[in-house]
């Protein structure tokens, strides 16, 4: 092993000069069953999300050996929780990572007992579980289930659409305003006093964004009714689903199922063996997903 140095991710740029190092870590050590609650798609989605404050991005901590990231302390859009991720064999970094997290991410946000540090683990990560237990972490918070759908280019998922509905992608249609409206309504923000402008005509800057994998289901009048975004890097085993949304008036028609199957089939053609989603919704089980892993939150009160 070479000398390990610590770096902060950026000076506030979303896709900074350190992005390639960080993305390589996520491509190599997450997503395929190892630390599968993180994936390159989740990284890109978080970095580009309008709810992610660029001023927080320098808080992402990276442990680097010979220009390769071997450990990361990161958050998703905001914190808590924070996540401790490391390359297998580098678990000895956990103490440095914890000390950095306590110093940097200590917060009283949503905490009834003063200050805390919160993270996410699964029982199979025995070294991390024991380390955090020894540090005084206790169970606290919501579970984070990872569901998977196996896929094969030679055995595609079949679906049908109601009359008048059709499949499109961002290859053929790219309208930021319509995308914003679909996600705004699809995530049940409609009726709020102030509109959700999260996706209001923001260009898609994510380096791993692929227009042909952003599936849209259109109604007969051209309205975007449902959407499945999926992230896949050729050569990987795993595709990552984010987001899935259907406008309320179009629900219970099988549109989300169709969008997901179309997205997964396309990734299978590119070499994917499975697709995962972070969700505990019964809907995914009804269309064939099975639980791959179960994460839960633990916290240390300071």
pLDDT digits (tens, 9 = 90+) for 240-251: 999 999 999 999
pLDDT of amino acid 191: 58
Looking at the predicted structure, is the pLDDT value of residue 205 above 80? no
Please give the helix or strand (H or E) that residue 291 lies within, else none.
strand 290-301
% of the chain with per-residue pLDDT over 90: 73
State how far Cα 242 lies from the chain centre.
7
Q: Which domains does the chain have, with CATH numbers?
A: 4-144+297-301 (3.40.630.30), 152-272 (3.40.630.30)
Q: Tokens for 123, please give them.
A: 């029982």
Instruction: List helix spans (H) across 124-170.
Output: 126-134
Q: How confident is the model at residue 195 (pLDDT cuts 50, 70, 90)?
A: very low
What's the pLDDT tens digit per position in 111-138? 988 999 999 999 899 999 999 999 999 9
* Predicted TM-score of the model (pTM): 0.90
Give me the pLDDT at residue 143, please. 85
Indicate whether 196 pLDDT > 80: no
**Residue 157: pLDDT over 80:** yes
Predicted pLDDT of residue 7: 96
End-to-end CA distance of the chain: 34
Name residue 204's beta-bridge partners.
none
Distance separating alpha carbons of residues 40 and 26, to the nearest angstrom: 5
Distance in angstroms (rounded) separating the CA atoms of residues 168 and 249:
19
Give the helix/strand (H/E) hosting 138. Answer: strand 138-139
The residue with tokens 């499949």 is 167
Mutual angle of helices 40-48 and 19-29, in 10-degree steps? 140
Least reliable range by pLDDT among 45-59, 145-159, 189-203? 189-203
- Please state the rounded mean pLDDT for residues 96-114: 95
Question: What mean pLDDT is predicted for residues 212-218?
Answer: 96
Rounded mean pLDDT, 215-229: 95
In the chain, DSSP finds a helix count (H) and a strand count (E) of 7, 13
| Of the candidate ranges 24-28, 49-53, 71-75, 118-122, the one whose mean pLDDT is the lowest | 49-53
The residue with greater pLDDT, 109 or 201, is 109
Reported as a pLDDT band with limits 50, 70 and 90, residue 1 is: low
Distance of alpha carbon 63 from alpha carbon 18, whole angstroms: 12
Residue 169, pLDDT > 80, answer yes
Which residue's structure tokens are 């993305």? 23
| Least trusted range by pLDDT, from 17-21, 49-53, 219-223, 263-267 | 49-53
Query: Under DSSP, is residue 135 helix (H, G, I), strand (E, B) or coil?
Result: coil
């Amino acid at each position: 092993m070479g000398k390990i140095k610590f770096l902060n991710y950026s000076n506030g740029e979303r896709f900074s000069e350190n992005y390639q190092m960080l993305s390589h870590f996520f491509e190599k050590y997450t997503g395929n069953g190892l630390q599968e609650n993180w994936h390159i798609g989740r990284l890109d989605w978080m970095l580009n999300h309008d709810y992610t404050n660029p001023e927080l991005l320098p808080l992402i901590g990276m442990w680097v050996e010979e220009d390769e990231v071997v450990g990361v302390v990161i958050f998703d859009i905001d914190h808590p929780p924070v996540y401790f991720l490391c390359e297998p064999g580098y678990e000895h970094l956990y103490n440095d990572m914890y000390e950095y997290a306590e110093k940097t991410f200590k917060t009283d946000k949503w905490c009834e007992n003063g200050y805390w540090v919160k993270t996410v683990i699964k029982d199979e990560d025995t070294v991390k579980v024991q380390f955090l237990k020894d540090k005084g972490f206790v169970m606290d918070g919501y579970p984070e289930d990872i569901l998977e759908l196996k896929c094969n280019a030679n055995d595609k998922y079949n679906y049908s659409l109601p009359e008048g509905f059709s499949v499109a992608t961002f290859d053929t249609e790219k309208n930021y305003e319509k995308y914003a409206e679909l996600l705004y309504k699809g995530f049940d923000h409609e009726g709020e006093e102030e509109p959700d402008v999260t996706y209001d005509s923001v260009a898609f800057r994510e380096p791993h964004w692929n227009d042909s994998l952003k599936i849209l289901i259109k109604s007969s009048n051209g309205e975007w009714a449902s959407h499945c975004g999926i992230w896949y890097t050729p050569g990987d085993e795993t595709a990552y689903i984010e987001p899935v949304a259907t406008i309320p008036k179009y629900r219970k028609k099988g549109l989300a199922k169709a969008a997901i199957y179309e997205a997964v089939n396309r990734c299978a053609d590119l070499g994917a063996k499975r697709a995962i989603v972070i969700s505990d919704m019964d809907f995914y089980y009804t269309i064939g997903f099975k639980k791959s892993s179960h994460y839960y939150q633990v916290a240390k009160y300071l």
